[in-house]
Structure formats: structure tokens, C-alpha cells
């Protein structure tokens, strides 16, 4: 199999297309959408050798690329589990439609080695997918069940996490809750994704294999030799009262507890990226990242990669999971999560992204997400726990975070 990329002259919205096909990744004006599955490339984790092998297999699909910029040529989507030892796969679509922030659009077609790409057929399939509309009944009611009671999570799970931190077993641990949502009709994922776009337009929006999200957090991107990350750690709720909302934002920015939690993630990230870089640095002070439902502390990290340049998959293998979703030190934090949470995180707090044949790509942290199957959705929310965390406040934070997805699951 080979891939051919040409400029797309037709008026196509890749986001609307990807929302309908279920293969979508979009951030800051860059969007890629896929139709069908041409190949699945194994991605063995956690070793970097697995990342190198998967990247090589993707690279070898290139036949022709008339556009030659990140996201063109052979491209794959992937969604990886939180467990860094759980292997995954790269999904290579039959057709990829992409759009860059500068307005460039392209189509990549997978085809047999001995055949020419059929552009007319690709355009027809794009039009059919773009114009498809669900006629199924819309959910009107849903039942939400906590997999652990909120009181148990607050009084046992979080309290034990704090006790272990104070005992010196771990510096920080991220503990999460899961809700099971049952609707009276199958969820319409197209509508869910569109509602997320309306509410969280600045987020990273994605859909892969029934897993959808509106993540505010960039795990890592690699464009040529430039690497970037935008970790978030530290949260405050929003208020509809502008004065109160401004106060909550200001309090978050100076909060000793939240800044300490945030600093753990930034220091770890810089130390982990440094071996890959000739230069790497972070903003000197965190800034407030404001979303529809919460404020976060965020810091942009940027560097120049050394040569030979590692692929995005090698960077993901090194960086996932960060202290923002696991804790610190990593091994002790992962042990705490396994022992205390009482659930399988699955893809929650994992990472979802795209990869091209040149090793470029970008990955979101899997927060503000839902795994949807027919009438059932699993949604998650977690909090970074440190020594002076308040269990009641942490429970309230999860409820605020849940609203991002719960509010999108059913049309008002």
C-alpha cells in the first residue's frame, strides 16, 4: 500500500467531516479527518523501539506528496490507554482530509502499490460522508451513576492518598472518578462533538473509535525540529458573576497549593525533554487558561530537538504519563492509582493524536473525554492530590470538570 497527497480545491470542512466519520483531530486551526481504515500498524509500548518501528512502517507508505507540510503524506490517528504498558495501534485511513491554519487544504489517498489514486472516487466519498445525517431518535433523558459513591471517593480514596503523601510515599498523586451515563436512545456522537466545539472552541477536539474529547491540554507536538507542550495543573471553578470569576482566577494564580502542584509537572517535563533537545525552556510564570467551566494554571514549554530528530511517537513514549495525570514520582503514583481508585481508566488520562510519515504530530492529554457505545457513555474527572489538599474541595472540582462532557451528551 502507498499514499498520495494532493491539494484539495473543493470546499470541505474537515471538522464536520471528521465528526461524521469518527476520525477527527483539531487544534488551533489545524484539522485532520479520516474516512475508512486502510491499515492498522501495531504500536508496542512502552519501549521506544516500538515507537521507532511504528514510525518506520508509516513512513514507508509514502508514494507522492504535492503539499509537503506537517500532516501531509501518510497520516495515522491513535488513541492510547493511560497504562503506559498497554500497546496500541496506528489507524491509517483510506482517505484523509486536512486543513492547516494558513488555509491550505489537502487530501491523502491510500491505494495499492501498483495502482494510481482515484481522486474522483475520493471526492465522491468525501461528499457522501459530509452530507450524511443521522435519522435516529435523539436522547432526551439520561441516568448518571457514580462507579464509586462520591462520599467513598472523598472520605476513603482521597483521604488515603493524602495520608500516603504525608507519610512520604509519594509527592503527588492524581486520583479520578468515573461516571456511567445511560441514555434513553443511542448517543449521537456527531451532535456531541459539535456541541463540544461550540462550548470549547479553544480546546483540542477529537474523535477516534467512539472515544471523544475536548481536551485543554497539549501533551506534546513535534513540527520539524520544534517541540512544544502545554501542561495544565491546578484548577479553579468559573462563576457566572464576572467579579467573582475574576477573583477565582486571581486566587488560583497565587494559590500555594496549586502552584506547587503545577511546578511538579513543569520541572518533570523539562527534565524529561532535555535529553531530546539542544534547547528547551518554559515560560517563567504560569498563566491562567480559562475554559467555559474552569480556570487552569498552564505553562508553555518549547524546545529545539537535537539531531537525529526523534519522532512524535518517541516523545510520547517518554512523556506519557506526566505528573498532571499520574503524579510524582511516577512509579509510586501509579501504584497509588492502581490500589486506590478501584477502576480501570482505560483511555482516560491516556493520549490521542495524529502522526505523519515524517515524524511530525501532536497529542492531547485525554481529559474531558467520554467513551461512547450505543446508549452508554463513560466519563471521567480527576484531581491532583498533594499534602494540603482538601478532600471536599477535590470532590467539588471533579463535579465541575464532569460538566464539560455531561453538558454535551444531550441536547438542551
Query: Is residue 22 a contact partner of residue 60, using CB atoms and an 8 Å limit?
Result: no
User: Which among 301, 308, 343 has a CA at the least distance from the CA of 322?
Assistant: 301
User: Edge to edge, what strands does the sheet with 232-237 contain?
Assistant: 232-237, 294-298, 287-290
Cα 390 from Cα 312, distance rounded (Å): 37
Q: Which of 89, 178, 217, 397 is catalytic?
A: 217
User: Which among 215, 299, 294 has a CA at the least distance from the CA of 264?
Assistant: 299
In the residue annotation, 68 being an active-site residue is answered as no
Neighbours of 57 (CB within 10 A): 18
What are the CA-CA distances from residue 33 to residues 98, 126, 295, 300, 322 (Å)?
A: 6, 10, 29, 26, 27
Cα 133 from Cα 140, distance rounded (Å): 19
Q: Which of 89, 94, 105, 172 is catalytic?
A: 172
What are the CA-CA distances from residue 208 to residues 16, 189, 310 (Å)?
A: 14, 11, 25
In the residue annotation, 285 being an active-site residue is answered as no
User: Which among 194, 290, 198 has a CA at the least distance from the CA of 248?
Assistant: 290
Cα 11 from Cα 402, distance rounded (Å): 36
Residues forming the active site: 172, 217
Amino acid at each position: 500500500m502507498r499514499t498520495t497527497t494532493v491539494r484539495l480545491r473543493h470546499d470541505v470542512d474537515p471538522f464536520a467531516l471528521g465528526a461524521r466519520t469518527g476520525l477527527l483531530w483539531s487544534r488551533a486551526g489545524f484539522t485532520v479527518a479520516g474516512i475508512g481504515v486502510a491499515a492498522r500498524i501495531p504500536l508496542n509500548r512502552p519501549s521506544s523501539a516500538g515507537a521507532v518501528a511504528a514510525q518506520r512502517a508509516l513512513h514507508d507508505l509514502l508514494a507522492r506528496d504535492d503539499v509537503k507540510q506537517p500532516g501531509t503524506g501518510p497520516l495515522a490517528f491513535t488513541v492510547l490507554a493511560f497504562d503506559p504498558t498497554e500497546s496500541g495501534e496506528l489507524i491509517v485511513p483510506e482517505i484523509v482530509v486536512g486543513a492547516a491554519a494558513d488555509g491550505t487544504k489537502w487530501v491523502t489517498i491510500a491505494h495499492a502499490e501498483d495502482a494510481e489514486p482515484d481522486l474522483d472516487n475520493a471526492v465522491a466519498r468525501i461528499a457522501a460522508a459530509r452530507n450524511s445525517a443521522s435519522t435516529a431518535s435523539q436522547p432526551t433523558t439520561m441516568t448518571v451513576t457514580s462507579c464509586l459513591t462520591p462520599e467513598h471517593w472523598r472520605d476513603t480514596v482521597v483521604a488515603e492518598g493524602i495520608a500516603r503523601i504525608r507519610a512520604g510515599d509519594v509527592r503527588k498523586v492524581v486520583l479520578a472518578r468515573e461516571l456511567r451515563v445511560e441514555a434513553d436512545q443511542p448517543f449521537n456522537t456527531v451532535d456531541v462533538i459539535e456541541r463540544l466545539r461550540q462550548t470549547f472552541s479553544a480546546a483540542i477536539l477529537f474523535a477516534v473509535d467512539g472515544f471523544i474529547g475536548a481536551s485543554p491540554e497539549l501533551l506534546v507536538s513535534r513540527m520539524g525540529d520544534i517541540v512544544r507542550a502545554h501542561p495544565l495543573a491546578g484548577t479553579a471553578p468559573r462563576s457566572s458573576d464576572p467579579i467573582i470569576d475574576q477573583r477565582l482566577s486571581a486566587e488560583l494564580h497565587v494559590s500555594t497549593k496549586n502552584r506547587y502542584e503545577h511546578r511538579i509537572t513543569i520541572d518533570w517535563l523539562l527534565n524529561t525533554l532535555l535529553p531530546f533537545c539542544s534547547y528547551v525552556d518554559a515560560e517563567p510564570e504560569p498563566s491562567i487558561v480559562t475554559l467555559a467551566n474552569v480556570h487552569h494554571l498552564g505553562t508553555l514549554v518549547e524546545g529545539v530537538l537535537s539531531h537525529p530528530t526523534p519522532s512524535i511517537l518517541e516523545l510520547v513514549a517518554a512523556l506519557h504519563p506526566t505528573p498532571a495525570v499520574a503524579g510524582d514520582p511516577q512509579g509510586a503514583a501509579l501504584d497509588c492509582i492502581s490500589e486506590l481508585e478501584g477502576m480501570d481508566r482505560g483511555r482516560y488520562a491516556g493520549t490521542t493524536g495524529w502522526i505523519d510519515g515524517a515524524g511530525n504530530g501532536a497529542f492531547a492529554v485525554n481529559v474531558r473525554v467520554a467513551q461512547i457505545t450505543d446508549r452508554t457513555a463513560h466519563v471521567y474527572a480527576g484531581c491532583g492530590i498533594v499534602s494540603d489538599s482538601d478532600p471536599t474541595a477535590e470532590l467539588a472540582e471533579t463535579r465541575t470538570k464532569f460538566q464539560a462532557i455531561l453538558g454535551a451528551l444531550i441536547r438542551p
